[in-house]
A and B are shown apart, each in its own frame.
Chain A
């Protein structure tokens, strides 16, 4: 199996500050980490590798220091890593990002399965994974919480839904995005960390991936951010009290009828 894991380096805090003038993230003084959901994507890739063998390649698009995120993936067990970095990529929205990543994946010899985290914790769009699949014209399955089996060039997974899960069978190659229910990511090892330090991470530019420049970076990004803001916190709600369950149910019913909800 040739597995590809897409990785994003994100600011460490979940309490992100936004510059109100430019509507962009304030990155100064905030250390960077691997997007936590991408660690679950790597864990799923390594589990498949444990069972079926093959190679795990991690790809990240970002500034040169995003290499640190890729080294972390190598320390945990990924075999190879590629960094996509070019001034031409700057300012990409999800469309341009997924186009760029897809072009890079096309340059790989072969791929059977692409695994992404369900979303990045900074942008929270959850669009890049499916976008990559569309650019590659392959099926994608989002919110996967279990890979049941991979046989005869097919993959059967559970897709988490609000009520339970769907069982989905797809042909390969395909792209899946995973949720954290997939299983605790493993820790890096000392040998892996030492190996990661020595592994050469090639840096690919727009030219290397033979991309159409008009589809990259700002010029390839139709999205315009008008305003970013923190939503107002929801107020407390009301807890219906009562001596017993049936009394509580009665009180609830009375309140709902009084509010003309039922």
Chain B
């Protein structure tokens, strides 16, 4: 498919692919096994300007948007979703600052995020607040010129490795979503420490860690937007970044299809290459078609968001939902085509299957995505009535 990329988008895609193939792919299995954060690869991504693609030029970026970000994430995910999510999570942490920060806040933090010299992270989830994000218990108390944070955030991607955290906390738990606020918290702030590092099924080279706030004083100037806006900031951010998860899913699926089709033309059984059996050929055909449909939807939504469209929740949820379900299906089929070899860790497809699963879960489970889409559909029907 030709998606008519601009010259600059082609450069971004080709460079990301080059890094994925030459630098990431050779290390993917080892990073997965060792559960080691890929700092050397993050440095390569930074030096190649990939962290800058979605950041406006006035803050040291290249002036692209969600679409450019998706092109990078997709290519990196072909080689290793763990590395790709470490890259993407920095954008997830940076977007709230870009979207809701003052010029002063943006001037202070965005250039470092764009250069990749400091990673960012986004902290919403807690042990009792996953899909029910309105139920967070990390508190923020306004105290003269500062806010004091107390509580624990869970499963934070880039936790411990990032320097800049966008943290959602509640000023008044009784007010629910309307009592929340978003803060920028820097690593090294007294009272801010890191807890348990999770051991995961997939994306094992990425860091998933607890953030612990104990009487952590942060300057009042680190409040994003206004008190009471925290929940809205979180939801608007996720609406914008969900195509990034979709792109990750498309990349994982494409990586699995590449491996499966390569295997189908080399593996011989019953005296024939297995790709010559219709059973395998049709599986490959379905995988390729599903991936292309997921990619087309993801690109359309990303371009729509970049064009400034305001109502993006439904489309953004659709891209994430569809692409992640495709990734799960396609990676399962890739393992099936590899047969017994596919189940072995010596071959790359079982990792892709483990990695694919998370795309159905994080940044809103696919059940939550369906709720978002479904409620929009119902709202539309009610309006027409």
A residues contacting B by CB (< 8 A) are 186-194, 197
* Least distance between A192 CB and chain B CB atoms (Å): 8
Q: Which residues of B contact A190 (CB under 8 A)?
A: 8, 11-12, 15, 48-50, 52-53, 62
Whole-angstrom distance between the alpha carbons of A193 and B7 in the complex? 11
User: Which residue on A lies nearest to B18, using beta carbons?
Assistant: A187
Q: Find out whether the CB atom of B49 lies under 8 angstroms from the CB atom of A187.
A: no
Q: Which of B52-74 contact A (CB under 8 A)?
A: 52-53, 62
User: B303 in the interface, Cβ–Cβ < 8 Å?
Assistant: no
User: B19 in the interface, Cβ–Cβ < 8 Å?
Assistant: yes
Q: Which residues of A contact B52 (CB under 8 A)?
A: 190-191
* Least distance between B151 CB and chain A CB atoms (Å): 39
Whole-angstrom distance between the alpha carbons of A197 and B14 in the complex? 15
Q: Find out whether the CB atom of B8 lies under 8 angstroms from the CB atom of A194.
A: yes
Partner of A187, one of B8, B11, B19: B19
User: B99 in the interface, Cβ–Cβ < 8 Å?
Assistant: no
User: B118 in the interface, Cβ–Cβ < 8 Å?
Assistant: no
User: B329 in the interface, Cβ–Cβ < 8 Å?
Assistant: no
User: B47 in the interface, Cβ–Cβ < 8 Å?
Assistant: yes
Most B CB atoms within 10 A — which of A188, A194, A197?
Answer: A188
Partner of A189, one of B7, B8, B22, B48: B48
Q: From DSSP, what is the main secondary structure of chain A's interface residues?
A: helix
User: B23 in the interface, Cβ–Cβ < 8 Å?
Assistant: yes
Sample 7 A-B pairs with CB under 8 A, ordered by A number: A187-B22, A187-B48, A188-B15, A189-B47, A190-B8, A190-B11, A194-B11
Q: Find out whether the CB atom of B15 lies under 8 angstroms from the CB atom of A193.
A: yes
Whole-angstrom distance between the alpha carbons of A188 and B48 in the complex? 6
User: B44 in the interface, Cβ–Cβ < 8 Å?
Assistant: yes
Q: Find out whether the CB atom of B44 lies under 8 angstroms from the CB atom of A187.
A: yes
Q: Which residues of A contact B7 (CB under 8 A)?
A: 197
Q: Which residues of A contact B22 (CB under 8 A)?
A: 187
Whole-angstrom distance between the alpha carbons of A191 and B63 in the complex? 12
Q: Find out whether the CB atom of B62 lies under 8 angstroms from the CB atom of A187.
A: no
Given contacts A187-B15, A187-B44, A187-B47, list 18 more A-B pairs with CB under 8 A: A186-B44, A187-B19, A187-B22, A187-B23, A188-B15, A188-B18, A188-B48, A189-B15, A189-B47, A190-B8, A190-B11, A190-B49, A190-B50, A190-B53, A190-B62, A192-B49, A193-B15, A194-B11
